[in-house]
Copies of this chain bind each other. A is one copy, B any other.
Amino acid sequence: MFTHKTQIRIHYALTDQMGVVYHGNYAQLYEIGRTEALRSLGITYKSVEELGVIMPVVEIHTRFLRPAKYDDLITVITTVKEIPEHSKIIFYGEIFNEKQDLLNTGTVSLLYMNSKTMKRCDMPNAIKEKVKGIFDVNN
């Protein structure tokens, strides 16, 4: 299991007239958490795309427990429980505010796809190398 924390300051553009973060904008917060989690392992999503692999989101399940608000310094906790043998990877996300209230949970599933053929593919070896020490990855 791998867990990573990222802090994000909520800016005005993310709010709506309910005075809270617009529900559709949480996907962005989880995206940032996920990307920074990968970066902490030495993997940039940019470099994944440069390898000819894209990672489209195929499923999101989000629960909105308490609203994130303007200027909140939220913490996104991103967890990967297992590296699958094949093409799908699941990120479990939780968002907390500065008072440690759990605001939101989001489970995001992505596929590894070849950007030319647009077919599913395995996790690139360059990534397997990076995560070998953390997960028990079959090479």
Contact = CB atoms under 8 A, between A and B. Distances in A.
Interface stretch (A18-26, A81-89, A121-129, A131-139): A18-26
Interface string A24-60: 1111100110010000000011100000001011111
B64 A61 contact: no
Contacts of A11: 28, 31-32, 35
Contact of A64 (B35, B44, B54, B57): B57
A7 interface: no
A102 to B, nearest CB: 14
A70 B17 contact: yes
A16 interface: yes
A15 interface: yes
Nearest to A24: B27
Contact of A54 (B18, B25, B32, B58): B18
A52 B107 CA distance: 32
Contact of A71 (B16, B23, B45, B61): B45
Contacts of A44: 71
B24 A25 contact: yes
A58 B25 CA distance: 14
Interface of A: 9, 11-13, 15-20, 22-28, 31-32, 35, 44-46, 54, 56-64, 67, 70-71
